[in-house]
Homo-oligomer: A and B are copies of this chain.
Amino acid sequence: EDLKKQQAVTSSDPYSSDPERHPLLHTNSLKPFNAEPPAEILSDSYITPSAFFFKRNHFPVPQVDPASYQLHVEGLSGGSLTLSLEELKTRFPKHTITATLQCAGNRRSEMHKAKQVKGLNWGIGAISTATWSGAKLRDVLLAAGYGSDVAQWARHVQFEGLDKDVTGAAYGGSIPLNKAVGEDGDVLLAYEMNGEALPADHGFPVRVVVPGVVGARSVKWLGKIIVSAEESSSHWQQNDYKGFSPGTDWDTVDHKSAPAIQELPVQSAITTPADGAVVDRSVEEVTVKGYAWSGGGREVVRVDVSLDGGKTWQVAQLRGSEHSPPLGRAWAWKLWEITAPLPPEAQELEIVCKAVDNSYNVQPDTFLPIWNLRGLLSNAWHRVKVKIAEDASED
């Protein structure tokens, strides 16, 4: 109540109508709001509760009236279509997928530690998993007149959000046409997250969910869909969310030289124990938990865990969704766990994890060789150090 009143008072602040958030979130930036859940929560349940799902906003959360909401679909040489929320819900079959979204900057703080980068200081929590329900983008595009012949002139599908910067420019991004219209792409225009209407922070009333692709393309508060020969001209498609060589700095970077990030590489991290935790020697064993995921619908097939900094490795147990996904459509992460005896002599453990996907892609050993000026795609092995405390009562 008090908070609400405060917000009303400071109404010149464009962020004053942002929703309330869970106090346990770790906030990286308040305006715009960017926050991640505590790491342990990620492995507590396969589906991340919406309140803990990482928040990655570029601007103030727009206030959208569901009754007057309109979604516009257009394209260079095709038809245009305008849908109300009700029409989107009733004119198209409702599909549900379980998909993990990951920010391109997830785990940036570890790369930053190796060598300074520019960007929000994400820990390992800029990744979460939800069930998403909505219409298939493919179905809506077909209804708008973009059929199989669209590939003759179009290459991309652009999305514009209703969230805007101070100049009125909207957040935007695009995905390749074949991901948008392919039968196996599973791109949704989602109006539900975890069985409820989308929360304000996650794009109410409608967002795109592009499974297997960097979170930045899953545009929230969706206002417009444009079928085009070109990628989105937005800053985030053209001059951000791209990977560069470790030899490229702000003086030499040429954004035209790199492709916009779409599918993400294989990733994993340890959610527990936390770095710096203390394990009691008398317990005799340690349980390590984490997540693993890969982009492009590639399924994680193995997670290797080391207790000695990467010298020796054991295979963790994987836990996926109830039904194993069709090949190439593994959109959701695996949680993993291993319980191993404490090495008798060790006073400290350096726990390391690395994942392998079904194209047998692996994570790189270290951060410096994948360093890039924006600290994106930070997927080297995750390492946490744990102290072993000797039992005081021991002889």
Contacts and interface: CB of A to CB of B under 8 A. Distances in A.
A295 B247 CA distance: 26
A313 B245 CA distance: 7
A49 interface: no
B360 A363 contact: no
B363 A265 contact: no
A304 B245 contact: yes
A243 B356 contact: yes
A263 interface: yes
A361 B380 CA distance: 11
A265 B176 contact: no
Contacts of A264: 359-360
A358 B302 contact: no
A270 interface: no
A327 B178 contact: yes
Contacts of A259: 301, 358
A246 interface: yes
Contacts of A369: 304, 310, 313, 354, 362, 365
Most chain-B CB neighbours within 10 Å: which of A265, A302, A326, A359?
A359
A370 B362 contact: yes
A258 B369 CA distance: 29
Nearest to A263: B359
Interface size class for chain A?
35 or more
A343 interface: no
B243 A313 contact: no
A248 interface: yes
Interface in A330-365: 354, 356, 358-365
Contacts of A296: 296, 359
A359 B178 contact: no
A315 interface: yes
Interface in A349-395: 354, 356, 358-366, 369-370, 377
B313 A178 contact: no
Interface in A249-284: 258-259, 261-266
B266 A302 contact: no
Contact of A360 (B243, B327, B328): B243
A369 B303 CA distance: 12
A295 B301 CA distance: 17
A68 interface: no
A312 interface: yes
A62 to B, nearest CB: 31
A214 to B, nearest CB: 9
Nearest to A380: B365
Given A265-B359, A265-B360, A315 B247 contact: yes
Contacts of A265: 359-362
A361 B243 contact: no
A265 B294 CA distance: 13
Contacts of A377: 360
A211 to B, nearest CB: 14
Contacts of A10: none
B358 A247 contact: no
Interface in A289-311: 295-296, 301-302, 304, 310
Contact of A364 (B327, B358, B359, B364): B364
26 contacts: A245-B302, A245-B304, A246-B312, A246-B313, A247-B312, A247-B313, A247-B315, A248-B315, A258-B302, A259-B358, A261-B360, A262-B359, A263-B358, A263-B359, A265-B360, A295-B359, A296-B296, A310-B369, A354-B369, A360-B377, A361-B361, A362-B370, A364-B365, A365-B365, A365-B366, A365-B369
Given A245-B304, A258-B302, A263-B359, 6 more contacts: A243-B302, A243-B360, A246-B304, A247-B304, A265-B361, A313-B369
